Structures are given as structure tokens and as C-alpha cells.
Amino acid sequence: MENPAPLPDTAPEVSPDGANTAQSPVRYVLFPRKGGWSSFPYPDIAALLSIEGEVYYVSSLTQTEDVPPVITVISFPEAEQLLLEPRTVAVVAHPYWLMATASLEPELCIVLLPEPAGNEAESPLWESSISKLVGIADLVGTSSETRYMKLLFQGVRAIWLGGEDPAPAGTMQKDDFEVPLRDFELLFLHALRQILSGTPDSVTLLQCSVRADFYRQLRAKAGAHETISFLLAAYEYLLEDPRAINSLQEAFSHAVLNGRSDCVVSHYRFLSAIHARSGKLEDALLVYGISAADEQERHHYEQLCRWFEAGEDQLVRAELLRMNDDYGNALRILDELGGETARHWKFRIYQETGRVEEALALVHAVDIQDDASRRDYQQLSGSALALRGERHGAVRHFLETALEDENALARIVELELLDHAVQQLLGEVP
């Protein structure tokens, strides 16, 4: 059995020239979910932030009995003023704060994604808001490993706030006390310090290594298993571990044995990403061709083959990764590749992942020559204006588009729904 990857200690981050990067204390402004402090999804993370700096909790109430004494309750207008000051971080714990917090343009934004409550997961507003909120975040935490995996494939700086081991993995000093920390708390602390100091991310691969070790040990105990082997393959892929192929083939074999009718697409196709990332494009194309499930996918496969024959290897590689939801690595390839085709594919990725401003920045005049593209551009511009807090401009763009596309009216309704949701989150309305 392999030893798990070592976790970092809690020494302050050090810059490349050896200078300690510790600065003045940071203020953290918490934008909570509905229901008061008792419903805050990550109280342990809030406690960790209170050790690192001053913590404020946004509510319409002047004070609530259950908020810990180390946390100060402030109004939304006070939060707006506080976030104008340096070394102040927005910590968003519900996706419906999207427009309210994005328009404040905080210096840094940390998103702590909650699990949906009630019928939230059924609302299209839920996933749409999460997508756009993640698009402006500097660090995202989630207790869902499925969500965490999705974020990693998108290239998002993320921490999985969960784990099986309740034992402390390290400690941090607070005055004369040593505070024990679990592994994910230790990793979150280091990710936090890295974004505050502008240090490159070293935590993502470390947590991936920890999770890969966990599933490798679980597989050794339980034997080959469809889900265990697939998750192991995904982490090994992210780590560029060549064992990912064997783990995936094992997962696919068990999916077949379990009678999964969709396993060619859900499991086998992932092999095309593994081959593409390692540069084996012929093998990757063969796998994707076998997994092409309908006429549209078969047409796309033929297009990829034509690009490959024309020597567009990197474009084929990026597209195979994109079709396997590996947006992060696809974007890195497209950035290096440059050119008009790469720009168009980057635009599509930014649209699919809710990165509105980056998508808008890639639009050229030549792209909006017909009615359909003009409508899309108006909607994208409206979304960008809404995120900037320019409500009237956003509504005008949506209304102009609605003359030809009634779906644009839904964007205006979303703005109203988010306004009402913020009132609920503040405790102003039931």
C-alpha cells in the first residue's frame, strides 16, 4: 500500500526570494444562506477565517444570538463599503448572491458552495448562478466530490471540503493555543494563503494525490469496482499518472458487467481524453469514433479526422479534451495555439463555463454579422452588464433581443428572482 501524499505544514507562505509574504490582517465578509447562522454551510471554515483575520456576517439584523462573538454582523450597505477597502475578501456561501457580489467587484472572491436545500436543485437559476459565480471566483470550496471533480476539469482553483479521516492532520497557532486541523482544513488554509499572496497553486495537485491514494487503498481492500476505479482513473488523469488507462479500463469492464447501457459514452469515451492528453491522437480519435452515439457526434468525428489529416494536431487535441469536459487543459492548448479557430473554441468554452466577461472579450465585429449572432451578442452583453451592476443597461439589451427571441425575457425574470432571493438571504422577507 502506498503512503499518502504529505500534507503541508502551516508555516506562512514564502516568496521565491525567501521573503516572508505575511501582511496586515485580512477582513472576510460572509454572504450567508437563508436561515441564520445555524444554516451556514461551513462553520468550521468560518472559524478558520476568524483565526486568520476579522470576519463579518451580512444580515439585515443588527445582531443575532447564534452568531459566534468573534464574528461581527453588518448590513449589506456596510458590506459594500467594506469591500471597497484593500485586504477585504468576499466569501459567498450561496449562489443567489451572484449579482449582488459580482457588482461589488471584490479584490478577492471565495465561493463556498452549499448543498441545495428544498427545491433549489430543481430551479434552472441554481446551476446558472453557480456557473457564473464560479466564473468570477478566485477559490471555490465544496463538500460535493462530484462538484469538486467538475471544477477541477474546468480548471478552477478548488478545494474539496470533506474527507473520511476525522483525525487532525496538522495544527495552526492562535495566540497561546494550537488549533487542530483536518486535512481539508489544512489544504484550504494553504490555498487561502496562496491566493492572498499571489502564490501559484500547489494545493490542487496535492489534494488530487490525497484522493487518488484514498481510492487506490479502497480498491485494494474492496477489489475492482466500477465507481471506485472510475474515480481513481479521473484523479490519475488529473495527475497525469499513466495508471489512469488501466483504472479506466477496469471501471469500463465492470460497467459492462453491471449492464450499464450508456457505459461506452460515460466510461469508454474518457479513454479518448487520456490518449489525447498524452499525445496519442490516433488512438484518441479511434476511441471517440467508436463512442460517437448519434449523427451529430459522427459528423464531428469526421471533422476531427479532417483536421488531423491537415496537420491540426493541437486543435484536435484541444477539442477532444473539451468534449470530455476537460476545459482547463483545452484552454491551455488553445492559448498556446492562437489563431481564429482557437479563438472561436475558447469563446465556446467560456460560454459553457459561465465566464461571461472573458467570452465577451473574445467577440470581434466580424462575429456579429447576422441576426442570430447579434441576438447572442446582445444577451451576452446584457449578462455582463448585469454582473457589473448596470441593471438598466442589462434590461435594455435583453428587451432588444426579446423582440426576436422571447427567451431573452427569461433573463429579465432571472434578475428579479435574484433580487428577491437576496432579500430572503438577508432575512428581509420570508
Nine cell digits for residue 128: 446558472
pLDDT > 50? residue 327: yes
CB atoms inside a 10 Å sphere around CB 417: 15
CA-based nearest residue to 207, from 160, 243, 147, 240: 160
pLDDT > 60? residue 225: yes
pLDDT > 90? residue 60: no
| 113-140 burial: b if 16+ Cβ within 10 Å, else e | bbeeeeebeeeebeebbbbbbbbbbbbb
Answer yes or no: are the C-beta atoms of 89 and 101 closer than 8 Å: no
What is the predicted pLDDT for the residue at 63? 58
CA-based nearest residue to 402, from 412, 388, 392: 412
Residue 9 — pLDDT band, cuts 50, 70, 90? low
Residue 8 — pLDDT band, cuts 50, 70, 90? low
The DSSP annotation for 293-311 comes to: -SHHHHHHHHHHHHHHHTT
The rounded distance, in Å, linking the Cα atoms of 219 and 273 is 23
pLDDT > 60? residue 58: yes
Least confident interval from 260-264, 350-354, 368-372: 368-372
pLDDT > 50? residue 65: yes
What is the predicted pLDDT for the residue at 166? 77
DSSP class of residue 20? B
What is the predicted pLDDT for the residue at 372? 81
pLDDT tens for 145-196 read: 999 999 999 999 999 999 888 776 777 776 667 778 899 999 999 999 999 9
* H or E segment to which residue 6 belongs: none
Phi first, then psi: what are they for 160, rounded to 5°?
-85, 115
CATH among 3.30.70.250, 3.40.50.2000, 3.40.50.970, 3.30.70.3270 for 26-201: 3.40.50.2000
What is the predicted pLDDT for the residue at 256? 95
The rounded distance, in Å, linking the Cα atoms of 153 and 3 is 25
Residue 248 — pLDDT band, cuts 50, 70, 90? very high
What is the predicted pLDDT for the residue at 7? 60
Give the percent of the chain with pLDDT over 90.
76
Rg of the chain in Å (alpha carbons): 23
The rounded distance, in Å, linking the Cα atoms of 379 and 381 is 5
The rounded distance, in Å, linking the Cα atoms of 67 and 63 is 8
What is the predicted pLDDT for the residue at 74? 94
Nine cell digits for residue 83: 469591500
What is the predicted pLDDT for the residue at 164? 83
The rounded distance, in Å, linking the Cα atoms of 32 and 60 is 12
Answer yes or no: are the C-beta atoms of 158 and 142 closer than 8 Å: yes
What is the predicted pLDDT for the residue at 143? 97
Single-letter amino acid, residue 401: T
What is the predicted pLDDT for the residue at 400? 86
pLDDT tens for 126-144 read: 999 999 999 999 999 999 9
Average pLDDT along the chain = 90
pLDDT > 90? residue 371: no
DSSP class of residue 1? -
What is the predicted pLDDT for the residue at 16? 41
Helix (H) and strand (E) counts in the chain: 20, 9
What is the predicted pLDDT for the residue at 14? 43
The rounded distance, in Å, linking the Cα atoms of 403 and 213 is 55
CA-based nearest residue to 106, from 31, 201, 160, 44: 31
- Give the residue extent of every domain in the chain: 26-201, 365-426
